[in-house]
Amino acid sequence: MAKKNKPQRPKARRPRGFEDRGADILRAERRLINAAFAVYDSFGFEPLQTPAFEYADALGKFLPDEDRPNTGVFALRDDDEQWMSLRYDLTAPLARYVAENYDALAKPFRRYQAGSVFRNEKPGPGRFREFVQCDADSVGAASAAADAEMIMLAAEVMRSAGLKDGQYAVRVNNRKLLDGILEASGVPNTDEGAEQRLRVLRAIDKLDRLGAEGVEDLLGKGREDESGDYTEGAGLSAAAIKSVLGFATAPTEDRAATIRSLEKLVGQSERGGAGVQELMQIDTILNATGFGDDRVAYDTSIVRGLGYYTGPVFEAELLADIKDRKGRPVRIGSIGGGGRYDDLVSRFRGQPVPATGFSFGVSRFLSALERMDALEVAAKPPVIICAFDRSLMGDYFNMAAELRAAGIRAEVFVGAGNVTKQMKYADRRDAQIAILMGSDEMEKGEVTIKDLYLGAEMAKAIESNEEWKESRPAQETIARANIVAKIQDMLG
């Protein structure tokens, strides 16, 4: 007799670069996002939700072609043969939305959004193909006041997340300043000078890691690192290197002093002068609203986004003294940022559309808060109401409803198993309180409450099972009418 073919079962496995997120992480994410949303709402911004898929040409980056349809993004062809891609950030979909609805929108259009974004890149430690971003953007206002508002917004989100002043700083720069210095150094602000400018920006971005000497090499002929890898330099002249380094290391003891230094550095450059004027206007607004140098600083080493931004740029940086398990200092650095990007919507409209925004990665921010012990306590496990007598299910659910109405998480056990198995379930849920009520207790108007945390602690001092049964530690019978007050007292 032939053997029956075994059914082919799929192997339970996660795709690389994607993660499952459990209850604690999801609750922490929700608290952080809601805290940020409350700030955005208070500033008059409105929520918006765009779809996870966009047409690939609308994203404007990593555009797929027939030979490499998934370069950088996850892409597929729709039934009309058009390429669609999962969004890689929340800003490109916003630009499409504004362009599509431009005439109907009040300008500036101010929106906030949180959601998953997707990158088709090689995964690694702490590097995922799906992660959650939280953004706020203002589209349609060209003034420095809109940038100042975004900077204030970022600082307020830091506070709303539970950070104290002194544990963070928002560091601000202006891309026009560097443009002006490069122009004065002979690097044109044109397509011909784009590659050289990009190398300058990348060099400055490494200042905190390589120091002034390493950046000087990258601004000039290039640099060979310890592994022997060689990075080609920007090829600036000695005078240009001096100017760029002077800019990147300008004093930052206070915003006013930084502005005075920058005025000298940009000289007669029209674009550089415009950048200084914008920083002055931002500084005036920050001073008027009480955002001092301890919360918002000017830092010319911030180049954020390389070629993406067109004006003021900023990063929210954590300053807390954090150590790893071996007691070594850990630098978390930037956990979010943003700036002015005036060219994104114009891709669709063919006309200038100013925009500025702020974004942070939710997982990275949460990881930083966890290292700083700044995360709120997770939600308490529910009170477990054991189904001692299945004929009383209506009464059990009524009891749960009373507890929920008082703001207490409560769960009636609806699975299979006797009371012993139900108590094991309560242990696995890490529940503090279990409630038991049979028909006898119900007739007397009573319930039995078990404090499982206290019981586990007291059990350490009880030597035998007989002693346990006789003493019934951490167990109390009370009047059914007093259940809410009693449990509030126990949880309090």
In terms of Cα–Cα distance, which of 306, 395, 317 is closest to 155?
A: 317
Dist CA 297 CA 170 (whole Å): 6
Are the C-beta atoms of residues 298 and 279 closer than 8 Å to each other? yes
Domain 23-371: which CATH class?
alpha beta
In terms of Cα–Cα distance, which of 161, 171, 163 is closest to 315?
A: 171
Residue 163 pLDDT > 70: yes
Distances (CA, A) of 398 to 393, 405, 480: 9, 11, 12
Q: What is residue 331's DSSP assignment?
A: -
pLDDT tens sequence across 214-246? 888 888 888 888 887 888 888 888 888 888 888
Are the C-beta atoms of residues 422 and 386 closer than 8 Å to each other? yes
200 or 427, which is more confident: 427
| Domains 23-371 and 383-491 belong to one CATH topology | no
Residue 2 pLDDT > 70: no
Dist CA 361 CA 337 (whole Å): 10
Per the listing, tokens 């101010």 go with: 110
96 or 124, which is more confident: 96
Dist CA 89 CA 59 (whole Å): 9
468 or 234, which is more confident: 234
Longest dimension (CA), the chain: 95
Question: Residue 461 — very low, low, confident or very high, per pLDDT cuts 50/70/90?
Answer: low
Dist CA 34 CA 212 (whole Å): 41
DSSP string, 56-109: HHHH-SS---SS-TTSBS-EEE-TTS-EEEE-SSSHHHHHHHHHHTGGGS-SSE
Q: What is residue 47's DSSP assignment?
A: E
Query: Which helix (H) or strand (E) segment is 312 a member of?
Result: strand 312-318
As given in the structure block, the two tokens for residue 18 are 């994607």
Residue 273 makes CB contacts below 8 A (sequence gap 6+) with 180, 266
Q: 198 in helix, strand or coil?
A: helix
Q: 38 in helix, strand or coil?
A: helix
pLDDT for the residue numbered 406: 95
Question: Residue 109 — very low, low, confident or very high, per pLDDT cuts 50/70/90?
Answer: very high
Residue 66 pLDDT > 50: no
Percent of all residues in the chain with a pLDDT value above 90, rounded to a whole number: 51
Domain range list for the chain: 23-371, 383-491
pLDDT tens sequence across 368-413? 888 777 777 667 899 999 999 999 999 999 999 999 999 999 999 9
Q: Residue 17, CB half-sphere, CA atoms under 13 Å: how many?
A: 13
Q: What mean pLDDT value characterizes the chain?
A: 87
Are the C-beta atoms of residues 279 and 254 closer than 8 Å to each other? no
pTM above 0.85, yes or no: no
Dist CA 121 CA 62 (whole Å): 11
Q: Residue 384, CB half-sphere, CA atoms under 13 Å: how many?
A: 25
Residues in the chain: 492
Question: Residue 455 — very low, low, confident or very high, per pLDDT cuts 50/70/90?
Answer: confident
Dist CA 463 CA 450 (whole Å): 20
Looking at domain 383-491, does it have CATH number 3.40.50.800?
Answer: yes
Question: Residue 200 — very low, low, confident or very high, per pLDDT cuts 50/70/90?
Answer: confident
